Chain A
């Protein structure tokens, strides 16, 4: 007989909860979002055998780390909703509470709340290696009897105690035998009425419902019952904050007696701990910042320089695949759609994987070791002025390589407002896709001279990166004042003990991030790529046929080699495609910036990715005499004449205006897709497109009008 059970895993942040989760489920896990919020929902599966030989299939939900059942952020609302609403579809049959054995006083607080909820509990006392190192003595048997729940001691990193945990789960379980604190006297009428109205497990569950009235709107109970609950709370003037404070004090009072009775520990002054000595260096007034800069530099190097090799490999693999597809299928629409639409779109997604994997490797190591919270500690004073968090620096700096992984890595920022601001401004950092655009334009308009031994072109390039950074911080500062937040911004944060990274956990984490990006952001990117392909490969009826017919005539076939004719056809088709028409349509709008319709086409196609600018330019400028077909894009652009002035089209003013446009404008569907995924609201990517493109237009307009 197969028995199916649902288990919820809950614990403080840094209690080693994910080690327990990974030890139980191995790779048998999947990640999704909890409905309606950007909180990751990790579900894993394991199958166990009870002592009669029956199979138990356990579905384990890894709840976000939390210090209590009182929700303060969207993440912390999840445990409340799952555990306190017995009608919730994910309501568990059993909870595994993970507590850090070396930090029991605070960890027992959450555990005690779960004991009183009266859902069956197995308490895992984790980090036994540190417990032994600190010579803390825990009387497990007596503690288990006092709490009324089975206790398993573990060192989940080393899978120590895993067998015992599985045995404890497989045993028939019952609700905790004792009340940790007696909650009913706190508000007897309210608790009784709630218990009579809705089916909840315990007095404490009823008490928590009264305490979080605003959250019961999500409960799956009829409206009139919700009204009844609200009414009784109002009638007896149930003061949620006072009740919560009273409950917390009572719990800690009981925890103190328990600590005295069952746990003995020698004095462990923090100043004697290895973490304290490490902090002496890592949060030092000089070395702290020096090492942080070095870490940033390393991350920067990795996603900028090292990622290039696998990215080139991916590009060549797709190039090879495109050639294969192109030559094995008959030429035509399907062929073009496969190669230029779908394969190009897929390439555009897969190429991000090395950067995402590398960045998440570093972010996971920094988080897992406990260093990330020190970064916050070091940088908070500085970053807070701009509405950002100390942890915002890693995404911002990674944005110089690519905004896509950078935005995905903002999940380490727990304050929603600070996280949102970081997401909104990160794309302003000059990413690597802007580099080909900058290099092309700088080569066009800036002489390769040296001033005081400094290369002028290099100086301008550096200046462009600086502009991106200044724009990002200024935008953050503005948003700090505009954005309203109901969530109070607290900095109260644990500085966890330093630990060695858990490589397997980090590996799983990277794999998850890559998977999520490929499948979720990937959908949007492929669809938009196909749309862009349609726009640039189709034109109003008959337009393309006329171009083909024109080049079939004798004059062209005699006077031109075939490849020149092909180039001309391609170029004229682009001009007459829907994208080309759009270029013409937007010309009046972009003329004040110094652009013509040709640049207009490039601006539109650049929305797939900024570096497409260079490719589009070379397609557009393939038209011309035989001489020009041998020139590079740069030379062709240099020779382009402005029909109005008779001088060169790409003047200093146009070049600067274009560079500023590319510095500020949101022209990257991958980023749009990721921002949508990370914020779950279409309005945020829309606002981002509008404000960034607005900034781009203004900056380019001013620059062009002043310089021309």
Chain B
């Protein structure tokens, strides 16, 4: 977790969520990857939930737009979540 001192809040990334935790997509840190994620329905404002984590710890499966999507931890680390 990165402490954003100016805002006084913490920024959370999708990769930090545990199984069963939910979050709201805020923005992306990788432009090219974000295009892929966007077309798959990962739109800012969308609620996502970590459904499952692969037994070897990577990749993870999330629910988004009513279906299950799997992505690697490194890819999930480019998805910034809204502070709660």
Contact = CB atoms under 8 A, between A and B. Distances in A.
Given A279-B52, A491-B70, A492-B33, 20 more contacts: A67-B39, A67-B40, A72-B36, A245-B31, A249-B43, A252-B43, A265-B66, A270-B63, A275-B68, A283-B52, A288-B55, A378-B56, A488-B32, A490-B33, A490-B75, A491-B75, A492-B75, A493-B69, A496-B67, A496-B68
A373 B67 CA distance: 14
Interface string A356-399: 00000000000000000100111011100000000000000000
Interface string A473-515: 0000000000000001011111111000000000000000000
B40 A106 contact: yes
Nearest to B72: A491
Given A284-B55, A380-B58, A103 B39 contact: no
Interface residues of B, number: 33
B57 to A, nearest CB: 7
A268 B59 CA distance: 24
Nearest to A489: B72
A492 B37 contact: yes
B51 interface: yes
A109 interface: yes
A570 to B, nearest CB: 57
The secondary structure that dominates the A interface is helix
Nearest to B54: A377
B41 A252 contact: yes
A377 B70 contact: yes
Contacts of A70: 35, 39
B72 to A, nearest CB: 4
A397 B42 CA distance: 36
Contact of A248 (B39, B66, B70): B39
A267 to B, nearest CB: 10
Contacts of B57: 381
A270 B41 contact: no
B71 interface: yes
Interface string A45-87: 0000000000000000000000110101000000000000000
Given A268-B66, A494-B67, A109 B55 contact: no
B38 interface: yes
A285 B57 CA distance: 10
A249 B33 CA distance: 15
B77 interface: no
A271 interface: yes
Contacts of B61: 377, 495
7 contacts: A106-B40, A106-B66, A109-B39, A288-B55, A378-B54, A380-B59, A492-B33
Given A106-B65, A491-B71, A381 B54 contact: yes
Contact of A492 (B40, B63, B65, B67): B40
Interface string A541-585: 000000000000000000000000000000000000000000000
B38 to A, nearest CB: 4
A275 B38 CA distance: 24
